Amino acid sequence: MTLLGAAAAWPLAARAQQPAMPVVGLLSGRSPKDSVANVIAFQRGLSELGYFDGQNVEIDFRWALGHYDQLPPLAADLVRRKVTVIVATGGGVTSTRAAMAATSSIPIIFVSGGDPIDLGLVESLNKPGGNLTGVTFFLGALEAKRLELLHELLPKAALIGALVNPTFPVSKTRLEDAEAAAQALGKKLVVVHASTEGELKTAFTTLTQQRIEALDIIADPFLVGHAEQIVTLAARNALPTISPLREFTVAGGVVSYGTSITEAHRLAGVYAGRILKGAKPADLPVQQPTKFELVINLKTAKALGLEVPPTLLARADEVIE
């Protein structure tokens, strides 16, 4: 009887002694709805290192839904959960700083559009130092290129609108880049702000009153989460748009140009896998995606009566017809 009892108890004891499944905390300023492609790409990066959600790793999501003030308590919650690594995304430096304030010991992988050195996240790209590393795609550095593309599409347009969320920490720097690029092209930039749905409608009323001829969307998680509303308002006001993210062009914007955000999340997944295998963040150089995407929505352009130059179409990575 004693032997039988011991034998019956053995499987339970063995299971109890098995190591717990590691947990990756994903902290985002965005929402699950507008992050599907990024999550899939992140999971693909993890799988390249042999980790599969629900099998040998758990991904624990925390979504701020565009409310950046919610990021600190969400980050603290992940720390209390004792996750193995935190991936901070969908809020750039805001989500990263929330994670940094919550822990100095748990590894943090950021996915950010800003310069991580200028933002004080890392000491250098090659040797990040501390418990941080990640992927940067330098969104602001491409503002000049985007306005050049807009000029190529609309060479006679003199008044360009810039839609900015003033609550997003790095918007000021990106706006400064856009203003410098507009001045170099001999164009005037009219800035409108929006951080709520109501302010979006007011912003477009202002753009119409100012007789703006095109719109540069200085994207952040809030504006990305309202991409469909923004392009609907732009279409209603016959405003061609350019943005750094493919999401806006797929939703109905005219042009987008920037690094691939999904590729950045795949790289973050690879780094999460490497940390799960024992690598230290300080030893993992900050990565920069090398894939750039020029996407043109030809259907929207035709609806607005725009003739897209053949030279621009020929350079496009994707044309939506």
pTM: 0.77
∠ CA 188-190-197, rounded to 5°: 155
Q: What is the pLDDT of residue 192?
A: 95
Residue 23: band (very low, low, confident or very high) from pLDDT cuts 50, 70, 90: very high
Going from the N-terminus, what domains does the chain have, and what CATH number goes with each? Answer: 20-137+261-290 (3.40.50.2300), 140-259+293-320 (3.40.50.2300)
Lowest mean pLDDT among 109-118, 197-206, 264-273: 109-118
Average pLDDT score over the chain = 88
pLDDT of residue 14 exceeding 50, the answer is: no
pLDDT of residue 290 exceeding 80, the answer is: no
Mean pLDDT throughout 1-30? 61
Q: What is the pLDDT of residue 225?
A: 81
pLDDT of residue 189 exceeding 60, the answer is: yes
Q: What is the pLDDT of residue 138?
A: 67
Lowest mean pLDDT among 7-21, 154-168, 257-271: 7-21
Radius of gyration of the chain from Cα atoms? Answer: 22
∠ CA 289-292-293, rounded to 5°: 135
The pLDDT > 70 percentage for the chain reads 93
39-72 pLDDT tens trace: 999 999 999 999 999 999 999 999 998 788 899 9
Q: What is the pLDDT of residue 234?
A: 95
- 302 with 279: CB under 8 angstroms? no
pLDDT of residue 270 exceeding 90, the answer is: yes
From the list 66, 175, 169, 177, the residue with the least C-alpha distance to 119 is 169
Query: Beta 58-63 vs 318-320: how paired, if at all?
Result: unpaired
Mean pLDDT throughout 267-280? 96
CA separation, residue 260 to residues 137, 300, 317 (Å): 8, 22, 11
Mean pLDDT throughout 10-29? 69
From the list 108, 35, 101, 54, the residue with the least C-alpha distance to 73 is 101
Q: 305: helix, coil or strand? A: coil
Lowest mean pLDDT among 113-122, 235-244, 274-283, 294-303: 113-122
Comparison of pLDDT for 310 and 247, the residue scoring more: 310
Lowest mean pLDDT among 110-124, 202-216, 248-262, 306-320: 110-124
Q: Which residue has the tokens 């999401």?
A: 247
Comparison of pLDDT for 23 and 292, the residue scoring more: 23
Mean pLDDT throughout 177-205? 92
